[in-house]
Amino acid sequence: MIDGLLIGSVYGLAAMGLSLIWGVMDVINLTHGAVIALGMFGMYILFTALHLNAYLLLLPIIAMGLVFGTLVYWTSVHWVIGRPQLSSLLSTFAVNMIIIGAGTAIWSTSPYNVNFSVPGFTVGLYTFTGNHMAAAAAAVIIALALELFLYRTRPGKAIRAVADNREAAELMGISSTTVLALAFAIGIALAAASGALVSTLFPFTILSGGAYQLKSFVVTVLAGLGRPLGALAAGLLLGLLEGAVTPFIAVSWIPLIEFGLFVIVLVVFPKGIFAKATA
């Protein structure tokens, strides 16, 4: 159960990026999974080259994520904003395929590991690994930082303004293009950061992002769009659910339960369970 909560915070972090982009610009970012995988490989490369503390390396990975996100925004997202959703789906899917294709060529689809471990602690027969706890802590800190950014800083407020009503925001003198690029870059950086954290827990391949992308969809639907702390809470809920049901059923049934939940939430709370309370 505790393991579930810890991993849940990482799911939450992954979903925040998807949720932010979806909420602000109405783009379902299908590069999400590929960027998570890039975050994993970013961590692997930096860690094997520098041998620094893996959590310190999150900072350069977030920075690279911002740069990469801006690049992707200007090359493939900017032109399809405001068009039917299918255009942005196709365009981000194309970028996704490019990343996965290039990644497969460079790293093949073989598994990689980041050999970094933080000592854990033991309660009775059960041991909680330090990596899980540190990853959860890092995810919570990043989520809080994003929340502060969105609600306490000018650019953050501008992002929210554009998300609420783009035309009104432009009338107030906010350059919506810059804001959209910023939001997209932040979304990508969050995905990369969550990938980097996952890479300290489990082995990964260039295709590993797909599973987290699916979980991100579940979390985003649970949380409602554009709410970072909501996404974190929904991530924790998903992790908790995984942890709570596994003692009673075979682990292979978990995806069925998760996606069953996904459908139920879509039907019963189409705006997300957390969104309903605040709307």
Partner 1 sequence: MKRIALNALFVVALLLSSGFAQNINIGFTVSKTGALNVDSLEQYRGFELWRDQVNAGGGVKAGGKSYKVQFVGNYDDESNVKRVQQLYTRMILQDNADFLFSPYSSSLTATAAIVTEQYGKIMLTSGSAEGKTYTLGNHYLFQMFAPGTEYLKFVLDMLKAKDPKATVAFVYEDAPFSVSVVNPGKAYAQQLGFNVVFSEAYAPNTTDFSAIIDKVIAAKPTVLIGGGHYPDGSTLARQLYNHKVNLKMITLLVAPDSPQWSELGDAAAGVIVPSQWEPQTSFKAEYGPSGADFAKAYTAKYNVPPSYESAGGYACGLILQRAIEQAGSTDTAKVATALNATDITTFYGKTKFATTPGEHGLQIGHSMVLAQWQKNKSGNLVKQVVWPLAAKSADLVYPIR
Chain contacts with partner 1 (rule: CB under 8 A): 3-4, 7, 104, 108-111, 113, 115, 117, 120, 122, 125-127, 129, 131-132, 201-205, 208, 211, 242-243, 246-247, 250-252, 254
Which of residues 75 and 117 has its CB atom nearest to partner 1 in the complex? 117
Which of residues 79 and 126 has its CB atom nearest to partner 1 in the complex? 126
Q: Are 168 and 61 in contact (CB under 8 A)?
A: no
Element (H, E) at 128: strand 126-128
The DSSP 8-state label assigned to residue 249 in this structure reads S
Residue 125 CB, nearest approach to partner 1 (Å): 5
Residue 250 CB, nearest approach to partner 1 (Å): 6
Residue 203 CB, nearest approach to partner 1 (Å): 5
Which of residues 49 and 248 has its CB atom nearest to partner 1 in the complex? 248
What's the rounded Cα separation, in Å, for the pair 190 and 98? 20
Inter-CA distances, 140 with 13, 58, 62, 271, Å: 8, 13, 15, 24
Residue 18 CB, nearest approach to partner 1 (Å): 20
Q: Is the dihedral of CA 142, 5, 132, 108 positive or negative?
A: negative
Which of residues 113 and 178 has its CB atom nearest to partner 1 in the complex? 113
Which of residues 87 and 104 has its CB atom nearest to partner 1 in the complex? 104
Q: Are 196 and 13 in contact (CB under 8 A)?
A: no
Residue 229 CB, nearest approach to partner 1 (Å): 24
Question: Which residue carries 């069925």 as its tokens?
Answer: 256
